[in-house]
Structure 1
């Protein structure tokens, strides 16, 4: 698989990018590569020099939750932290829009997964600008203040935030799970048809579905304005879940390999005493 095939290297038009691209034996390939990622993460953890932030965005039903479960299932639990960002709490709204994301960043050696991310602040709020009023920003007094320039400034702040984080050793990889409107319809119907999946359905899903075109427009703009060398976007065809999972896993693996993580070496004086330490333990 071409490791740059899904990476956004130039401006894109989402409607021209396929949402379905099945890969043969994707599930088997995923099993192999996720073990390799876990091994690399163990070395990254031991080295303590880098951390990684995996950002997942996509329309409702695009498969973010199941992707997290399948891609990271072989990680040592100490090595991965998952955050699902919902509606901001009262406390979070008393800070700037990036605060709650900043404090959730992974420590060195760990992988942080953002299930929905800081980009909600230029996606959902752009589709529903009235949500911004709850942030109580002094310069925002009416909907007229929430023009394109307002969101462009936010995107620039996000770029600066990611640059700062990347400069301090965080590997940032951002994935947009590119789902078709037809497949979303099918997945919503499955939630209604299968009793065990009813709990996943929300009437709000149908309201948001009516705004599909607006969301696609916003996603395209965001991806084009915030895909950088230090925090690239990858557009993943998501109509087939096994394929999407393998693409994400393989991309993470290929990107992690670039950093050549190394396990730390013991101090020379300790190395010289290894046999002595073994003897002490055997003689207990």
Structure 2
């Protein structure tokens, strides 16, 4: 892919995580939360470092080209590792080009609009990356598991019928198709956590005083709906993994492996876009050469006219783009 061997390796690595569009998913049957693709943690650290470097390289191109934007949607149950994944995977990129949005309980203002309104407000701009820590898929997950939340949205009667979830899947698919058609790539990752690993992480938050702030009694109450959420996730993955915006189910019981997978999926998206640095026209090149001569003429006596070129003799000969 574009002569980059890394692209082919990444594509092969993430292919088993991709939900085939049109397939019927059952999480417990189809995806193992403890899978690590035969990797050891030591190998994983090096792979993550390489992935972060790759993201940094391609993010610069994305920003310079200013044509495409990327939306990364992260979904998971409580303690699924969304915050840590964002922190580690995005550690090497320019923070000016990334915006993270976390969506909590809708405000009164948000409830006065359609359910996609608050998410549309946080979409990326061209050249940028937006990360949704939880996303518009909450509207077919938590709202489906807790239908009383649908009542709070004050929908007209015809919009609350038995076909509401099927209709929302279609509306979300259409919205994401609209985004991709206009140059905004949608990357969707579900961090697949096992019930036992969630229990272990909850206990760690209770056992360590410095992690107590991360625990909420509501987390344990919500755990009672585990089976309902598994069904809701399975239905969501089946209905909304599309050719233009496929889902990736990432094993999340091992945090280090989840971070490698997320970095690889995001890198694959950027490599596929293949953003290029803008080419300047000949008139602009003339202006650049004039500016360069003027700056070189200002060099103090005894110092090189162009210190950078003196240290990097081949810099001006490199192919641009």
- Matched pairs, number: 280
Please say if 1:152 is aligned against 2:166. Answer: yes
Structure having the higher Rg = 2
Distance in 2 separating the partners of 1:186 and 1:140: 43
1:91 counterpart SS class: helix
Residue 114 of structure 2: which of 96, 100, 121 is its match? 96
Deviation of 1:219 (Å): 0.4
* Match for residue 131 of structure 2 among 113, 117, 129: 113
Give the 5 Å matches for 1:126-141. 126-139=144-157
Q: d(CA) in 2 for partners of 1:277 and 1:233?
A: 49
Deviates more, 1:11-20 or 1:204-213: 11-20
Equivalent position of 1:201 in the other structure: 215
Q: Write the distance in 2 (CA, Å) between the matches of 1:254 and 1:118.
A: 23
Q: Could you report, residue by residue, the CA deviation over 1:117-169 in whole angstroms, capped at 9, with x for unpaired residues?
A: 0000110000111111221112269xxx453x111111111011101011000
SS of 2:130's equivalent in the other structure is strand
Q: Return the alpha-carbon distance in structure 1 between the equivalents of residues 253 and 145 of structure 2.
A: 23
- Aligned partners of 1:261 and 1:70: how far apart in 2? 23
Task: Name the structure 2 match of 1:278.
Answer: 292
Q: CA deviation at 1:11?
A: 2.3
Q: Partners in 1 of 2:87 and 2:201 — Cα distance? A: 18
Equivalent residue number for residue 67 of structure 1: 85
Matched, 1:6 2:24: no
Contact 1:129 1:146 in 2 (8 A): no
- 1:34 maps to which residue? 52
Q: Does the Cα contact within 8 Å between 1:62 and 1:184 map onto a contact in 2? A: yes
TM-score (norm 1): 0.95
Residue 4 of structure 1 aligns to a residue whose secondary structure is helix
Using the TM superposition, name which of 131-140 and 69-78 deviates more. Answer: 131-140
What's 2:74 paired with?
56
Aligned counterpart, 2:5: none
Paired residues of 2:14 and 2:261 also in contact (CA < 8 A)? no
Aligned to 2:311: none
Which digits, 9 at most, give the CA deviation of each residue in 1:159-205, with x for residues without a partner?
11101011000111100000000000000000000110001110100
Any conservation in 1 of the 2:52–2:92 contact (CA below 8 Å)? yes
- Give the stretch that moved more between structures: 131-140 or 155-164: 131-140
- Partners of 1:133 and 1:140 within 8 A in 2: no
Question: 1:217 Cα deviation (Å)?
Answer: 0.1
- TM value normalised by structure 2: 0.85
Q: Which runs of 5+ in 1 are unaligned?
A: none
* Deviation of the 1:272 alpha carbon: 2.3
How far apart, in 2, do the equivalents of 1:232 and 1:82 lie? 21
Question: Contact between 1:173 and 1:232, CA under 8 Å: does it hold in 2?
Answer: yes
In the alignment, the residues of structure 2 paired with residue 140 and residue 131 of structure 1 have an alpha-carbon distance, to the nearest angstrom, of 17
**C-alpha RMSD of matched pairs (Å):** 1.3
Q: Quick check: 1:15 aligned with 2:33? A: no
